[in-house]
Structure 1
Amino acid sequence: MLNKLLVTLFSAAVITFSAMSMSEAQAKPIAVDENNISPLLNGHNIPKVTLNDYQGKPVDLAKLVEAKPTIFFFYRGGWCPFCNIQMGQLKAIEPKLIEMGFQLVGISPDSPEKLRESMTDNELSYMLLSDENLEATKAFGLAFFTSQKVTDMYQAKLGVKNHLFKNAQGQERLVLPVPAIYIADNQGLIHFQYANPNYKVRPASELIMTAAKLVVAK
């Protein structure tokens, strides 16, 4: 079943690649909701965006991938239990990914201070980057406005203190990334992409490992 799914995904990638330009993708507007995002697809290059690590040091994503093939994963924040589960699952397969020559990089709207908490709480060794201003989230086409109800609930019950952004109606809302996985080679070319508007559903570790093997085999 998994291999059949991957064949479908990579066949779609070939079609997408042949229809797309290799030029840099432009930052996309924040979607009205999670079902209307326009994520980067296979065949695009990793955008030239600079974020901060947990120490506040700048990290250029385009230059980062030049060092080695990279698996980027976008997550909502350390406050999200589903994201913490995913970080643990990625931690479990990290040694195998490193053997294959990859590096793992997590991106979220969390501040550098919050990143430090996540790294400590989850005992992580891979890199986490702060996208407080949503530059990478927008460049990858993953940013969306939450509803007023969700904004209020996350702020009140989960203590989310992210910056608020004004939507088309001038209302201040919380903006989050749709959780996503991107696998890019050291030329910055995206070979595999997974983005699901349902934040409760994350790709299985087996899928990520198989996709990574196929990228290495190219």
Structure 2
Amino acid sequence: MKSGIVWVVGLLFWANAVLAQADPAALAVGSKAPSFSAKDQHGRTVSLEQLQAKGPVIVIFYRGYWCPFCNRQLKQLQDSLPLLKKRNAQVVAISPESAIYVNNTIDKTEASFPILSDVDNSIMQRYKVLYDVDANTVSRLKAIGVDLNAVNASNDAVLPVPAVYIINQKGIITYAFFDSNYRNRPSVKTLLEKL
């Protein structure tokens, strides 16, 4: 009987540890940024290393063209691009949405910086921002015309936590914004201060 209880407790502890590892969590400031490479809205391959060669990189993870908070954030970054470029900052946005929907994002935000479609969710996984969307949220989104399985390149009902990282030219994360409340985003002023 005791061994059965110990076994169950051990199994619960193990399951809890595995599930906890799957939860999104911010990468630490001071840690090495995971490398990435993907196609942008023009079909060109863009890599973190290419961007780093020009200056610090602001990496934005956004949910999709249908998210007004994401669109507002990307539009503010586009409007402030001259200020960011004065500090040699490179801006790149990453989303699970497929290329056709990336074009919708550009139409809404006028973004001229690279927007990458994370077609297999691998960038979001490496940056630990990816999470599975619960069935209730999937249903609510479908009710407003957003089918994540159709919109996302991977055909999975997943989203990123809307995170922002600043990565220096040595590949080190110097700033991390990570908030599971999708309404919260760092201001351009904050990003300029952190560059």
**The 10-residue stretch of structure 1 (59-68 or 107-116) with the greater mean CA deviation from structure 2:** 59-68
Partner of 2:109: 122
2:84 matches 1:97? yes
1:189: Cα distance to partner? 1.1
Q: Distance in 2 between matches of 1:119 and 1:95?
A: 18
Distance 1:114 1:141, change over 3 A: same
**TM-score for the superposition, normalised by structure 2:** 0.81
Question: Counterpart of 1:67 in 2: which secondary structure?
Answer: coil
Q: Could you tell me how far apart the structure 1 residues matched to 2:20 and 2:163 are?
A: 15
Amino acid at match of 2:42: Q
- Specify every segment of 5 or more residues in structure 2 that has no aligned partner in the other structure, as ranges: 1-17
Amino acid at match of 2:178: A
Q: Secondary structure at the match of 1:77?
A: coil
Give deviations 1:47-103, integer Å, cap 9, x for gaps: 122211113332222333233211111110111111001111112221101011111
Instruction: State the match for 2:174 in structure 1.
Output: 191
Equivalent residue number for residue 158 of structure 2: 175
CA distance in 2, matches of 1:151, 1:192: 31
**Structure 1: tracts of 5 or more residues without a match:** 1-28, 166-173, 213-218
The sequence identity of aligned pairs, in percent, is 30
Distance 2:62 2:172 in 1: 21
Task: Tell me which residue corresponds to 1:138.
Answer: 125
1:43 corresponds to 2:45: no
Larger Rg computed on CA atoms? 2
Provide the secondary structure at the position in 1 that maps to 2:33.
Answer: coil
Q: Does the CA contact (< 8 Å) of 2:92 and 2:115 recur in 1?
A: yes
Q: 2:26, 2:177 within 8 Å by CA — same for their partners in 1?
A: no
Which segments of structure 1 move beyond 4 Å, counting only runs of 4 or more? 29-33
